[in-house]
Amino acid sequence: MVKKEHQMVCQKISRISPYIRFVGVIGNKGDLLAYYRRPNLNPMLNEREAKNQFSNIAINTGLDAAFDKDLGKVEFVWEERKKVQTISFAVNMDRVWISLDRKVIRTEILRIIDECLPIVKHYS
């Protein structure tokens, strides 16, 4: 994917739901390639913590690849945390990482996932 496509992915996904806080495309080395942040929203992570989070995503992506032959490629990962929910999708060697408001009901999360899958598959 080229930079313009990274930004298009962020924009398309950001329009799916008003509960989306952040959408970022994370490179395989943990670099933030493009992002969208909901306006008037304070980030939950400072810059250093965000870089660490993105590096963690890149490392886990590499570790997950070891099981692709036997289990198949990871399509998405959904985490529920105390303060936020996250979803990540594989796009070639990159990851699309989305954070959502914590109080979103599960049916809305599933709707968001269902609408994200064709977008990320288009760019994979």
Give the domain ranges of the chain: 3-123
Q: Which residue has the higher pLDDT, 47 or 22?
A: 22
Considering the four listed CATH numbers 3.40.190.10, 3.20.20.100, 3.90.1300.10, 3.30.450.30, the one that applies to the domain covering 3-123 is 3.30.450.30
- pTM for the structure as a whole: 0.88
Mean pLDDT across the chain: 90
3-state secondary structure of 104: coil
Q: Is the model's pLDDT at 2 over the cut of 80?
A: no
Of 16, 7, 2, which is closest to residue 117 (Cα–Cα)? 16
Distance CA 110, CA 85 (A): 12
Q: Is the model's pLDDT at 62 over the cut of 80?
A: no
CA-CA distances (angstroms) from residue 7 to 1, 42, 91?
10, 21, 13
Q: Is the model's pLDDT at 28 over the cut of 90?
A: no
Distance CA 116, CA 124 (A): 12
The per-residue pLDDT for 68 is 82
Q: Is the model's pLDDT at 124 over the cut of 80?
A: yes
Q: Is the model's pLDDT at 90 over the cut of 90?
A: no
Q: Is the model's pLDDT at 13 over the cut of 90?
A: yes
Question: What average pLDDT does the segment 61-74 reach?
Answer: 82
Q: Is the model's pLDDT at 110 over the cut of 90?
A: yes
